């Protein structure tokens, strides 16, 4: 197998790694590659930080192992190779009346990545996390043996693999349970929230299947935490809608594009799209679930230095107060970009290292300026103090000390991962930074 030598980055492009990458196109080639070099498997590199990086080492890009293997119309269980994207599954299966039970915010995430990060979607409060809909994983161990693990035959290993950041073995394929969908059109209701309190009440009161909020992270004073709530259901029957074509960002954008006045002006206009009394619109699944995928390589809008994303989940009782302080801090930093999301999470989680917990989750992007990493650090400390968690898939600045108290089962996870991979060949930069394989 030929190894490509070069530099690669996480989606946020702040953290980079130099090393060697293989990209097998057949299972036989994957096995041959692993005989040469045992190393972590990565997907489409949609994790923002260093979850898919192995600086100075080797990685295997799984994106060409992307075939659907079997689908059972009775049970809705689809088996596919780990490199297929969740958007491709949706594109192919939705017209037949089936979609994945959980869809993350980008369709470019691979099936293996969705499992390894136990991603969640806009229906988390009802449907739980991605891993809760995985019925079987074909796992290639560091010892070269393949096992088909299920929650029944290997409960602990299964729970360590869901959200396990690739540390228990290489996911070759997985079987996931799809859900029925009547059409590929979403019936979306948009409402304005004038401030954080109103926003949270709307989120708490929502009974919609899919629910997500865009929050204006630049607004201050009485408008602090204002935004737009989107609630949606899949339409029973299709209605005609116009699909927009994909565009791509041809080059790194200049710095002024995300300067504070430009972002504030953009957010104003974005908010005004929705009339004060709200509105109802039909939107394609693609536009509703993967709004940013229409703009390929949108991470280049942050210019060469890249960007950070902060995402936390906060327990419900103290969330209101903590979010208030977080939004104050973010708005006064004048660093926020227009991309900021507030939504409710349920308690569903599929693995030991899964991010979700009952409460509210906030995600905000910051261009990588001198003060950005420090601001995210402070927000992480506030999360920790409030009994919340940060999301490894998004993080690039947390320390092991900040991270450890957020995940109760971290030591158990490390024990299982170390037993599966005793030579520590599957470790990534993130695993080393957050000391996820330390059993202490």
Partner 1 sequence: MKQSWLILGASSSMARAFARAVAERGADVFLAGRDMDDLQRIADDCRLRGAPCAEALKFDARRPKSFDAINDRLAEQDGMLNVAVFIGSMPEQAAIDANPALIDGTVTDSFTGPARFLQGFVPLMEERGGGTVIGIASVAGDRGRIGNYVYGAAKAGFATYLSGLRNRLTRAGGHVVTVKPGFVDTAMTWGLPGMFLVASPESVARDLLRATDKQRDVIYTPFFWRWIMLIIRLIPERIFKKLSI
Q: Which two tokens stand for residue 319?
A: 């969330």
- Exposed, middle or buried, 280 (CB in 10 Å: 0-12/13-18/19+)? exposed
DSSP string, 158-193: HHHHTT-TT-S-EEEEEEEEEEE-S-SEEEEEEEEE
**Shortest approach of partner 1 to residue 89 CB, angstroms?**
10
Based on CB atoms, which residue is closest to partner 1, 63 or 396?
A: 63
- Exposed, middle or buried, 250 (CB in 10 Å: 0-12/13-18/19+)? exposed
**Shortest approach of partner 1 to residue 18 CB, angstroms?**
14
Based on CB atoms, which residue is closest to partner 1, 72 or 347?
A: 72
**Shortest approach of partner 1 to residue 100 CB, angstroms?**
15
In angstroms, the Cα distances linking 94 to 65, 108, 153, 160, 179 are 21, 16, 31, 30, 10
C-alpha 257/C-alpha 301 separation (Å) is: 8
**Shortest approach of partner 1 to residue 236 CB, angstroms?**
24
Q: Are 75 and 139 in contact (CB under 8 A)?
A: no
Residue with tokens 């009394």: 277
**Shortest approach of partner 1 to residue 186 CB, angstroms?**
23
Based on CB atoms, which residue is closest to partner 1, 64 or 432?
A: 64
Residues in touch with partner 1 (CB under 8 A): 2-5, 21-29, 64, 67-71, 81, 92
**Shortest approach of partner 1 to residue 296 CB, angstroms?**
12
Based on CB atoms, which residue is closest to partner 1, 81 or 118?
A: 81
Beta pairing class for 295-296 and 247-248? parallel
């Amino acid at each position: 197998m030929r190894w490509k030598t070069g530099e690669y980055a996480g989606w946020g492009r702040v953290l980079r790694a130099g090393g060697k990458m293989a990209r097998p196109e057949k299972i036989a080639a994957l096995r041959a590659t692993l005989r040469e070099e045992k190393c972590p498997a990565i997907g489409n590199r949609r994790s923002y930080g260093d979850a898919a990086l192995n600086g100075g080492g080797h990685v295997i890009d799984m994106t060409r192992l992307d075939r659907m293997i079997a689908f059972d119309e009775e049970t809705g269980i689809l088996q596919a190779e780990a490199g297929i994207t969740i958007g491709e599954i949706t594109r192919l299966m939705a017209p037949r009346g089936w979609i994945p039970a959980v869809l993350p915010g980008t369709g470019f995430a691979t099936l293996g990545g969705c499992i390894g990060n136990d991603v969640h979607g806009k229906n988390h409060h009802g449907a739980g996390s991605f891993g809760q809909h995985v019925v079987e994983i074909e796992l290639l161990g560091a010892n070269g043996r393949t096992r088909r693990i299920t929650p029944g035959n290997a409960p602990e290993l299964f729970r360590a693999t869901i959200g396990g950041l690739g540390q228990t073995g290489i996911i070759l394929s997985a079987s996931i349970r799809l859900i029925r969908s009547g059409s590929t059109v979403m019936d979306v209701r948009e409402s304005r929230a004038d401030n954080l309190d109103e926003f949270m009440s709307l989120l708490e009161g929502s009974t919609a299947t899919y629910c997500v909020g865009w929050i204006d992270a630049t607004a201050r004073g009485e408008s602090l935490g204002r935004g737009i709530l989107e609630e949606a259901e899949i339409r029973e029957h299709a209605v005609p809608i116009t699909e927009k074509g994909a565009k791509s960002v041809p080059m790194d954008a200049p710095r002024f594009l995300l300067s504070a006045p430009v972002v504030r002006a953009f957010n104003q206009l974005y908010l005004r799209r929705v009339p004060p009394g709200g509105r109802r619109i039909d939107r394609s699944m693609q536009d509703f679930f993967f709004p940013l995928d229409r703009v390929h390589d949108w991470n280049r809008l942050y210019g060469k230095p890249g960007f950070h994303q902060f995402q936390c989940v906060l327990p419900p009782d103290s969330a209101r107060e903590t979010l208030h302080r977080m939004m104050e801090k973010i708005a006064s930093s004048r660093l926020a970009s227009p991309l900021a999301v507030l939504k409710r999470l349920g308690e569903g989680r599929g693995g030991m290292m899964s991010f979700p917990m009952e409460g509210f989750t906030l995600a905000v992007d910051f261009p990588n300026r001198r003060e950005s990493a420090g601001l995210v650090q402070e927000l992480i400390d506030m999360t920790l103090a409030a009994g919340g968690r940060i999301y490894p898939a998004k993080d690039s600045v947390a320390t092991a000390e900040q991270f450890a108290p957020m995940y109760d089962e971290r030591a158990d996870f490390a024990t299982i991962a170390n037993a599966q991979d005793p030579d520590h060949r599957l470790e990534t930069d993130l695993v080393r930074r957050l000391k996820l394989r330390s059993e202490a």
